[in-house]
Amino acid sequence: MKALLLKKYMELELTELPQPELGSTDVLVRVRACGICGSDVHGLDGSTGRRIPPLVMGHEAAGVIAETGRDVRGWKSGDRVTFDSTVSCGQCHFCRRGEINLCDNRQVLGVSCGDYRRHGAFAEYVAVPANILYRLPESLAFDDAAMIEAVSIAVHAVNLTPRSLGDTAVVVGSGMIGQLTIQAAQAAGFGRVFAVDIDDAKLEMARKMGAAESFNSKHVDVAAEIAARTGGRGADAALEAVGATDPIRTAIACVRKGGTVTLIGNITPKIELPLQQVVTRQIRLQGSCASSGEYPACIELLSSGAIRVDTMISARTPLDEAANWFDRLYRHEPNLMKVIVQP
């Protein structure tokens, strides 16, 4: 089969690989769409330590079942599917509690980090265990379905955020996950959702996605603006989709006493925390990792149009031109959000 192989750091090569071998509980999926994730782009240069070559990356995918393992029940070739990016064991303490994102034996598709190597979906075929599959309705296009993994991250974060109908939320960071979080927060019953970023084009998009207002934190005191719109109290919740000191400080400063800051982004490993502000205002900091069981809800939200992803897809490319798109994403070409590879 054709596959896009990370042969060594900064070198992607379109190559022929043998089709993946199927375990008895695996299915072989003919990949029809696979999104290029920021973590794949960062993985290119080895800085994250999670894409050790040789590796086929790609974990945001959808396709059609081509073959099923001996012990697979309930699935057949021809079924349209997507799958979780997390491969969970189903056996450990956390899996048995339904917290599959916290699985002790968690692996991620298209990642190799020293502990394991699991080839992903930038290839004609990928093998995945049947327990992570989800059925796609006919009406949902493969390209949109490849966005479900990203949608699930936003939906999971909102699910972890305490709220009452009509509460006010601030989403800090208006990249793709931020845009999806704005939409998920509205679908979950938040009233006004405010968007924050340092890029005016992203803020404009956030308003199109339904943000009540948007603020450029380079130019205005965001906490003061939010206070002025919430009776001086601050928002009930903030969701942070960057993961660095400045935006996290902004998120903390924007919430009311007793409010929640849900932390989704993690581009930096450490931040400086305004501890006294958090303690004396009794603010809850809630980490959010991947998703656990939200895929069916995400399929529903996409099918109904409650969450829209079409405007976030910047380009579509066949496998043999995908390396160029990696390059453009790596060089931070402006106005590129999601690039979908169609192997």
Binding site for Zn ion (CB under 5 A): 37, 88-89, 92, 95, 103
For residues 209 and 202, give the distance between their C-alpha atoms in angstroms, rounded to a whole number: 10
Please give the helix or strand (H or E) that residue 81 lies within, else none: strand 80-83
Q: How far is the CB of 95 from Zn ion (least distance, A)?
A: 3
Q: Which is nearer to Zn ion, 120 or 259 (CB)?
A: 120
Question: Are the C-beta atoms of residues 279 and 228 closer than 8 Å to each other?
Answer: no
Q: How far is the CB of 326 from Zn ion (least distance, A)?
A: 14
Q: How far is the CB of 50 from Zn ion (least distance, A)?
A: 11
Q: Which is nearer to Zn ion, 50 or 163 (CB)?
A: 50
Please give the helix or strand (H or E) that residue 43 lies within, else none: helix 38-43
Q: Which is nearer to Zn ion, 37 or 253 (CB)?
A: 37
Using alpha carbons, select from 288, 278, 287, 217 the residue that is nearest to residue 253: 278
Beta-carbon-side half-sphere exposure of residue 200 (alpha carbons within 13 Å): 2
Residue 25 burial class via C-beta count within 10 angstroms: exposed 0-12, middle 13-18, buried 19 and up: middle
Q: How far is the CB of 156 from Zn ion (least distance, A)?
A: 13
Q: Which is nearer to Zn ion, 103 or 193 (CB)?
A: 103
For residue 111 the two structure tokens come to: 């990642």
Residue with tokens 């601030």: 170
Q: How far is the CB of 104 from Zn ion (least distance, A)?
A: 5
Q: Which is nearer to Zn ion, 5 or 108 (CB)?
A: 108
Beta-carbon-side half-sphere exposure of residue 277 (alpha carbons within 13 Å): 16
Q: How far is the CB of 92 from Zn ion (least distance, A)?
A: 3
Query: Helix, strand, coil % (nearest 5) of the chain?
Result: 30, 30, 40
Q: How far is the CB of 329 from Zn ion (least distance, A)?
A: 13
Question: Are the C-beta atoms of residues 226 and 212 closer than 8 Å to each other?
Answer: no
Q: Which is nearer to Zn ion, 103 or 242 (CB)?
A: 103
For residue 256 the two structure tokens come to: 């009311």
Q: Which is nearer to Zn ion, 52 or 92 (CB)?
A: 92
For residue 106 the two structure tokens come to: 């968690």
